[in-house]
Amino acid sequence: MGFVTLLVVLFWLKTLLAYFVDFKLGLSDPFQFLILLLNPLATTILLFGLALYFKRARFFYPFIFLIDILNSLLLYINVIYFREFTDFMTVSTMLGYSKVDQGLSGSSLALTSPHDILYWLDLVLVLALMATRRIYIDPRPLNKRVGLAVTSSALLLFTVNLTLGEMDRPQLLTRTFDRTYLVKYLGLDAFTVYDGIKSQHTSELRSHAKKSELSGILKYVHKNYAAPDKSMYGVAKGKNVIILHLESFQQFLINKKVNGQEVTPFLNKLYKSKATYSFDNFFHEVGQGKTSDAETMLETGTYGLPQGSLFTQLGNDNTFQAAPAIFDQAGYSTAVFHGNVASFWNRSNTYKNLGYQYFFDASYYDTSGDKSLGYGLKDKLLFNDSVKYLQHLQQPFYVKYLTVTNHFPFTLDSEDSSFKTPNTGDKTVDNYFKTAHYLDQSIKEFYAYLHKSGLDKNSLVMIYGDHYGISNSSNKSLAKLLGVNPDDWNDYDNAQLQRVPLMFNMPGYKKGKVEHTYGGEVDVLPTLMHLMGMNTKKYIQFGTDLFSKTHNPVVAFRNRDWVSPDYTSIDGTVYSNKTQEEIHPDKALQAKLDAIQKHVNQGLNDSDSLNQKNLLRFFHPKGFTAVDPSDYNYSDGLEKEEKLEKKLGLKSTSLFSRNGDKSTQPFYKTDAPELGHKTTDSNRIKITNQDDTSGK
Ligand code: GP9
Ligand code: MN
């Protein structure tokens, strides 16, 4: 019993360390503080107490250690995860984690901190004390009833805990959209078990889903539909679409100067160019799926999932009626260029269900030595090295470039940048400007190529930032650079900082301007399709065309907070955008705010139900042919392109064919120093292409 007590107390202390040092749980009163002290105890006693059912010492000791190690591991991965996502790890994230861990290793290391040793020290010490016999192994069997007594007191304690939690926060278990609450009131173990039960429930939902469940969703979508503005409809019809996905790129970088130097001079130029429609009130809406959530919204017009990533959880077998397939069926070639491995975010599987014809992932480039960083090939090289594949694609094409260099922890080899970083006291924040500057330069080089090759004349380039780069926990360090007193920084400021760029650039176009319309990532697909002269009415999409007169300007965040042109709602507290202060609405205004919240909830709920129950398998938009993922295989992309070129002969529209069957690579100029570096055996990422079975 003494041994169990010792381990329980040690684990309790570790949990409190995580609660008070690593997690930000937002304690507002002493009562919550009390619950917090109490909540690790019930589950720890329950779990560790199970060892007491083993009569023999040789089973008891290994078992209790195993439980302790597993529970410490759960605690520790949550500590790491929280540092990046300011959130707890769901069971589905954990299960999908193996698919995204490749490449995460680099930044996981950067997410560690010296005091992390305390999460493991107790186990080491106890083992050492046992080995040196300072803790004595007690062979005497315990009465069976001791185990039972411990289990029932733990359960009783848990009931007390739950009751206290419900007293402070009614409907604790039903309003689970906020994971912090669950951990704050019930502890990490209870949260994880509860979450596991919920994911099991979702998988059951899917198998019981019926076609009739579509009707409510269709009602919402039809009511929400915003007809295109006639003057904008089809302005880019027939053009190539080139999507530049700017990793972790926030709007505040635009026009920002650091030490007198512009951070992103080239993007700044594009931003204000007459050839560009830019948006300055455009927000990312991603959840835990980060980049993959941005892609989900962009390609499918539906939201990411409330927990985890849709790509990893549902990408293998969900039915989509998504942009790649829609463009494909309108006569476009479709491709993604990305310098990370294809398995990251389960992309290679998901892309097949989205209907992408080609995926030029890391296996298509020389990523060896210092050509890559933790998330893959450096951007300047990605753009340069993509040319040999891009030029063989039949036009018109719909292509997406996923950049990676501007990714946490924002490190760069010294020869890649001489940008003078600010000195905020937070290395992450300082370096962010350096990698953003690098990204800007790589876009500039790519644009020079577009111009030289003539591609710019018949292309629409859409540029957007996928999500924040600086997480809320670091925003205070950023505040000064933005001209705000760090002490005044609050939730409202965090929400406003979720702006990311969105630009539709058509070289040669003259009517562009900076639009102030409020919108979010879910609005991009209908906007783009209308610019391309494609009808969206027959599809199920949750956003609305940003250029439409009836566009809904409420931006829904994944956690149900929202921003509108006038108000910002965070966790039920509403701020006025004008005064930036919390408001105390009268009855009429409250009704208006409630209606907005209801709309936000419904959009998210309907999108979740559509995706989680895979309802699109029952939906057949007229003229759209269902995607068959087995039609796609992402190995030998170049060979496939060249075969098609040959087959089409004079009819081939690829840039290569149009250039008199000559490579356009000489048009590309990059100052990337790595270009001249020899290929080495070492690699910062592990390259695999699961479609390549040739063994080369
Ligand atoms: C990796 C890249 C990064 O392939 O897309 O994803 P993120 O960590 O930003 O979600
Ligand atoms: Mn990203």
pLDDT of amino acid 693: 61
- Cα(291) to ligand 1 centroid in Å equals 5
Closest ligand, as measured to the CA of 344: 1
Mean pLDDT of 374-384: 96
Is the shortest distance between the CB of 373 and ligand 1 below 6 Å?
A: no
Which atom of ligand 1 is closest in space to residue 345's alpha carbon?
4
Type and span of the H or E element at 59 = helix 57-85
Q: Domain extents for the chain?
A: 2-207, 241-558
| CA-closest candidate to residue 28, choices 180, 192, 232, 254 | 180
Say yes or no: CB of residue 407 within 6 Å of ligand 1. yes
Rg of the chain on CA atoms, in Å = 27
Q: Is the CB of 340 under 6 A from ligand 1?
A: yes
**In angstroms, what is the span from residue 404 Cα to ligand 2's centroid?**
7
pLDDT at residue 304 is higher than 60: yes
The CATH class that applies to domain 241-558 reads alpha beta
Whether 463 is in the pocket of ligand 1, judged by its Cβ within 6 Å, is: no
CA 332 remoteness from chain centre? 27
Ligand nearest to the CA of 309: 1
Tens of pLDDT along 111-158? Answer: 889 999 999 999 999 999 999 999 888 888 888 899 999 999 999 999
The β-bridge relationship of strands 276-283 and 514-520 is parallel
pLDDT tens profile 652-670:
999 999 999 999 999 999 9
pLDDT tens, position by position, 462-480: 999 999 999 988 999 999 9
Q: Please report the atom of ligand 1 found closest to the CA of residue 407.
A: 9
Q: Reply yes or no on whether the pLDDT at 305 is more than 80.
A: yes
Q: How confident is the model at residue 222 (pLDDT cuts 50, 70, 90)?
A: very high
The 10s digit of each residue's pLDDT in 336-346 is 999 998 888 88
Query: Distance between CA atoms of 407 and 387, rounded to whole angstroms?
Result: 23
Average of per-residue pLDDT across 245-264: 98
The answer to whether residue 98 scores a pLDDT higher than 70 is: no
Ligand 1 close to Cβ of residue 406 (< 6 A): no
Token pair 């992408």 in the structure block, residue: 356
* Helix runs in 532-682, H state only: 587-612, 637-648, 655-658
Does residue 626 carry a pLDDT above 70?
yes
Q: What is the mean pLDDT of the chain?
A: 92
Q: How far is the CA of 369 from the centre of ligand 1 (A)?
A: 20
Q: Which residues surround ligand 2, an ion (CB under 5 A)?
A: 247, 290-291, 466
Distance 466 CA to ligand 2 centre (A): 6
> Going by CA atoms, what residue is nearest to atom 5 of ligand 1?
291
- Other Cβ atoms less than 10 A from the Cβ of 134: the count is 9
Q: What are phi and psi of 583, to 5 degrees?
A: -110, 160
Say if ligand 1 is within 6 A of residue 405 CB.
Answer: no
Position 616 scores a pLDDT of 98
Q: Which residues are catalytic?
A: 291
Residue 591: pLDDT above 90?
Answer: yes
Of 457 and 90, the one with more pLDDT: 457
Peptide bond into 666 cis (omega under 30): no
| Single-letter code of the amino acid located at 655 | L
Give the pLDDT band (50/70/90) at residue 107. Answer: low
Are the C-beta atoms of 285 and 303 separated by less than 8 Å? yes
Q: Is the pLDDT of residue 453 over 70?
A: yes
Q: Is the pLDDT of residue 172 over 90?
A: no
Ligand 1 atom closest to the Cα of residue 347 is: 4
Distances (CA, A) of 612 to 301, 348, 542: 15, 20, 15
**362 in contact with ligand 1, CB cutoff 6 A:** no
- The Å distance, Cα 248 to ligand 2 centre, comes to 5
What is the 301 CA–ligand 1 centroid distance (Å)? 20
Question: 535, 555, 531, 532: which is closest to 543 by C-alpha?
Answer: 555
Residue 320 has pLDDT above 90, yes or no: yes
Q: Is 570 in the pocket of ligand 1 (CB under 6 A)?
A: no
Residue 207's pLDDT is: 83
Q: Is 336 in the pocket of ligand 1 (CB under 6 A)?
A: no
Report the atom number in ligand 1 closest to the C-alpha of 341.
4
pLDDT digits (tens, 9 = 90+) for 64-92: 999 999 999 999 999 998 887 677 887 87
> pLDDT per residue over 636-647, tens digit each?
999 999 999 999
Q: Which of 407, 470, 471, 558 to mutate to test the pocket of ligand 1 (most atoms within 8 A of CB)?
A: 407
Out of 85, 105, 373, 375, give the residue to mutate to test ligand 1, the one with the largest number of ligand atoms within 8 Å of its CB. Answer: 375
Among 283-292, 353-362, 567-576, 683-692, which is the least confidently predicted range? 683-692
C-alpha 552/C-alpha 596 separation (Å) is 10
- Condensed to tens digits (0 to 9), the pLDDT of residues 242-251 reads 999 999 999 9
**pLDDT tier, 202 (very low <50, low <70, confident <90, very high otherwise):** confident
pLDDT tens per residue across span 389-398: 999 999 999 9
Residues forming beta bridges with residue 262, ordered by sequence position: 257
Amino acid code (one letter) for 165: G
Nearest ligand to the C-alpha atom of residue 340: 1
Band of pLDDT at residue 690, cut at 50, 70 and 90:
low
The answer to whether 381 and 339 have CB atoms below 8 angstroms apart is yes
Write out the two tokens for 87. Answer: 């959130």
Distance 378 CA to ligand 2 centre (A): 14
d(CA 528, CA 323): 10
Atom of ligand 1 nearest to the CA of 247: 9
| pLDDT-wise least confident of 130-144, 401-415, 499-513 | 130-144
Ligand 1: distance of its center to the CA of 22 in Å? 23
Nearest residue (CA) to ligand 1, atom 3: 291
Do the beta carbons of residue 438 and residue 415 sit within 8 Å? no
Residue pointed to by tokens 């969105």: 502
pLDDT at 296 over 80: yes
In this structure, the residue with its CA closest to atom 6 of ligand 1 is 291
Rounded CA separation 316/352 (Å): 9
> Which tokens belong to 18?
């995580």
* Å from CA of 677 to ligand 2 middle: 28
Averaged pLDDT, 361-381: 95
The confidence score (pLDDT) of residue 176 equals 47
- At residue 52, the 3 state secondary structure works out as helix
Average pLDDT over residues 15-37: 88
| Residue 468 Cβ contacting ligand 1 at under 6 Å | no
Q: Which of 38-47, 193-202, 361-370, 502-511 has the lowest mean pLDDT?
A: 193-202
pLDDT band at 37 (very low <50, low <70, confident <90, very high): very high
List Cβ neighbours of 680 (8 Å cut-off, separation of 6 or more).
Answer: 368, 369
Residue 101 has pLDDT above 60, yes or no: no
Ligand 1 atom nearest to 466, measured from its CA: 9
The pLDDT of residue 695? 46
Give strand pairing partners of 504.
277, 462
**Given this model, what pLDDT does residue 140 score?**
87
Atom of ligand 1 nearest to the CA of 293: 10
Stated as kind and residue range, the H or E segment containing 558 is none
Q: What does the pLDDT read at residue 449?
A: 98
What order do you get walking across the sheet with 397-402 strand by strand?
Answer: 358-360, 333-338, 397-402, 240-246, 459-465, 502-505, 276-283, 514-520
Q: Give the ligand with the smallest distance to the CA of 246.
A: 2
